[in-house]
Amino acid sequence: MADVHLGARKYGERAFYDDIFQAFEESIEEIVKDRVRALVIAGDLFDSPHPDNATLAFALRKLRELTSRGVKVIAARGEHDTPGRREPSPLDVLAEALEGFHAPQPPPGLKLTSAAECLKAIERMTIIDGKLAFMVYPFFKVSVNERRDIFRALAPCYERRAEELRSLGLSVIFTGHFSLDPVFTYDAIASLTELPKARYVALGHVHDRCVRCVVPPGRPDLWYAYTGSLYPLDVSEAERDHKRGPLIVDLSGDEPVVQEVSIAVRRHVVLDAEVRDPKDVDRVIRAAVGKVARAPNEKEPLVHLRLKVGVKVPSSVVELSASRVSGERGLIIIPHITRVSDEKAGAKALPERGPEPLDPLDVIKAEVGLDELTSKAILDLIVAASEGNEEAIEKALERLASWPKSLESLRRLAAQ
């Protein structure tokens, strides 16, 4: 597994938080059924280096279901759950609490110019379980160019360690959280030929699923895989149709056999629309989502509505309309607003007009000093209360209660 992002609250929607919990829980159930020897998490188990207590407790409880059965859990650190250099990681908490959970990290102050020191650090980054040897690559919170330099310095030492482990008759699994050329070249820190000669390479960071066997020049077959994100976290991921869930890898034969375990997640839909007049917002949103039908016993589909919005349309009007239509249609509509200018503006000068109407969202943010997510939730609460919509009221209150910054802001206001 990789890129689980436990604790994520994207766009202020509680649905993401709960859905990721459920997807992880179902993944653990499937792993238990398959009676695996070990679980590799290739980075970003958590969405933040400081997960809330409920998220940390949930991860601890679910992973204990594996470690209590003798399943080793080997976790690489990722971009999202790696804290600053002097801060403890939530993975350290899990390693302290769970026997059988490993999240190794090189010692502080590692001298990359010393091969002996690097080899000693990589030995520390190796977990051996029976005939399996897991080599974990650390995540460094530095620039991409610095990460590339570090990988080039450590790669020969990882190769020497892999050769040593193979000579002992062990199957070597290499895992880390980074982009690989040619899978994703934008922030790749290594190429295929720079990877150690491992039996299998489990990677994270790229949210697309990719399972490949290649034959680099002068090297044995290389099996590597990105499992992809466990749950679609944004619009671009919602458009991808790869399976969600862990990969079960059988290393007992001559070559790895990779089985995809499919986890059912909430349906995500991506739609496009355009609106230039505030009076048309409701009509446009209703028309855009009109064909999205909720099946019996289905969770509310999550609709990413990409809206091109005219300059005269306040954001709050769009947000409130989306919230209202969501309640009516049994959907979760998330508007993604892109501002567009009036097409006729370049043809002739606009007549003088009075000041633009104030955007309530901007007023709350500026005058009351609240963040955008809290402001949106309060606006939703106002609309729901005015309409007497108890379900929408409950949802708005739940969003406020689940966002620590909202609670902090509301306590501050109450004390004034």
Tens digit of each residue's pLDDT (9 = 90 or more) over 136-152? 999 998 889 999 999 99
Q: Report yes or no: 81 and 44 within 8 Å, Cβ to Cβ.
A: yes
Please, which residues have CB within 8 angstroms of residue 195's CB and are 6 or more apart in sequence?
155, 174, 180, 201, 222, 224
**pLDDT, position 342:** 67
Higher pLDDT, 232 or 392: 232
Ramachandran area for residue 156 (φ above 0: left; ψ -120 to 50: alpha; else beta): alpha
Cα–Cα distances in Å, from 21 out to 39, 57, 194? 17, 11, 35
Chain segment 335-378, per-residue pLDDT in tens = 999 988 866 534 343 443 334 444 566 666 666 677 777 777 77
What is the identity of the amino acid at 36?
V
For the chain, which residues make up each domain, given as ranges?
A: 10-260, 267-343, 358-416
Residue ranges with strand state E in 185-299: 188-191, 200-204, 210-214, 222-226, 247-250, 257-260, 268-275
Cα–Cα distances in Å, from 340 out to 28, 277, 313? 45, 12, 10
CATH architecture of 10-260: 4-Layer Sandwich (3.60)
Cα–Cα distances in Å, from 413 out to 129, 369, 372, 409? 54, 10, 16, 6
* Residue 68 to residue 64: CA distance in whole angstroms: 6
What is the identity of the amino acid at 157?
C
Q: Per-residue pLDDT averaged across 269-286, rounded? A: 94
Chain segment 43-65, per-residue pLDDT in tens = 999 999 999 999 999 999 999 99
* Residue 374 to residue 170: CA distance in whole angstroms: 53
Residues in the chain, overall count: 416
Gyration radius (Cα) of the chain, Å: 25
Please name which of 85, 63, 60 lies closest in space to residue 139, comparing C-alpha atoms.
Answer: 85
> Phi/psi at 181 (nearest 5 deg)?
-80, 125
Please name which of 344, 3, 364, 35 lies closest in space to residue 177, comparing C-alpha atoms.
Answer: 3
Lowest model confidence (mean pLDDT) among 6-15, 93-102, 198-207 = 6-15
What is the identity of the amino acid at 167?
S
The reported pTM is 0.81
Please name every residue paired with 34 in a beta bridge, in sequence order, or none if there are none: none
Residue 173 structure tokens: 């699994």
* Alpha carbons within 13 A on the beta-carbon side of 178: 28
* Residue 325 to residue 319: CA distance in whole angstroms: 10
Q: In which band, very low, low, confident or very high, does the pLDDT at 303 lie, cut at 50, 70 and 90?
A: very high
Please, which residues have CB within 8 angstroms of residue 124's CB and are 6 or more apart in sequence?
104, 106, 107
Q: Per-residue pLDDT averaged across 237-260, rounded? A: 91
Q: In which band, very low, low, confident or very high, does the pLDDT at 132 lie, cut at 50, 70 and 90?
A: very high
* Residue 29 to residue 173: CA distance in whole angstroms: 23
Chain segment 181-190, per-residue pLDDT in tens = 887 778 899 9
Q: Report yes or no: 188 and 210 within 8 Å, Cβ to Cβ.
A: no
